[in-house]
Chains A and B, each alone.
Chain A
Amino acid sequence: KAGVTQTPRYLIKTRGQQVTLSCSPISGHRSVSWYQQTPGQGLQFLFEYFSETQRNKGNFPGRFSGRQFSNSRSEMNVSTLELGDSALYLCASSPFQGSNTEAFFGQGTRLTVV
């Protein structure tokens, strides 16, 4: 069974640009969550999608958005990039939406904003 796939693995963008990151969950998984990891703030929840609907959203500005497609693949978009957006972005999938399920994480996309 293939794991969670995130593309691209590495990105370098310039301040003010926008970026789109992609996540393909494990086959059959319908819940996809996104996290931002930085040395200063640690792992922070961005948003969660289940069956194409955003179910939860973390405390991030509106520049961060996402969506989920009918095949459960998800994308997140960051517009008007700032230097502080440099981070490892992790996607996690779970088979269903329930509080007692483990999450399976992808290898992440390392975004560097210059």
Chain B
Amino acid sequence: SQQGEEDPQALSIQEGENATMNCSYKTSINNLQWYRQNSGRGLVHLILIRSNEREKHSGRLRVTLDTSKKSSSLLITASRAADTASYFCATVRGTGNQFYFGTGTSLTVIP
């Protein structure tokens, strides 16, 4: 079963607006990562935030992590039509590369 839940399940916005997705997880983690998936293809890594970090930026992406609430958020600023995709959070526990993925948020950016 999945490790976490994401909300909203689907999000539709106009180009230029900001998009915020939330992820909640259940157990302690080493890090949390966000991935993007375009229509049934492979996942592309977006950003990794370690458990001792609270916020991280990469270009138009901003990720926050609150380990006390076991939650994370991904903010995409000034969205573009090319950002249309599904976004997944993934948590990593232990020392391996075993990822536990959330349920995903389907983002549609309307030109």
**Least distance between A40 CB and chain B CB atoms (Å):** 11
Q: Which of B4-48 contact A (CB under 8 A)?
A: 30-31, 33, 35, 40-45, 48
Q: Which of B31, B35, B42, B99 contacts A106 (CB 8 A)?
A: B42
Shortest CB-to-CB span from A91 to chain B, Å, is 9
Interface magnitude class on chain A: 20 to 34
In contact, B99 and A105 (Cβ under 8 angstroms): no
B33 A105 Cβ-Cβ under 8 A? no
Residue with the highest number of chain A CB atoms closer than 10 Å, among B33, B97, B100: B97
**Cβ B100 vs Cβ A45 within 8 A:** yes
Interface residues of B (CB under 8 A from A): 1-2, 30-31, 33, 35, 40-45, 48, 50, 88, 90, 92-104
- Which of A's residues lie within 8 Å of B, judged by CB? 4, 31, 33, 35, 41-45, 48, 50, 55-56, 58, 88, 90, 92, 94, 97-108, 110
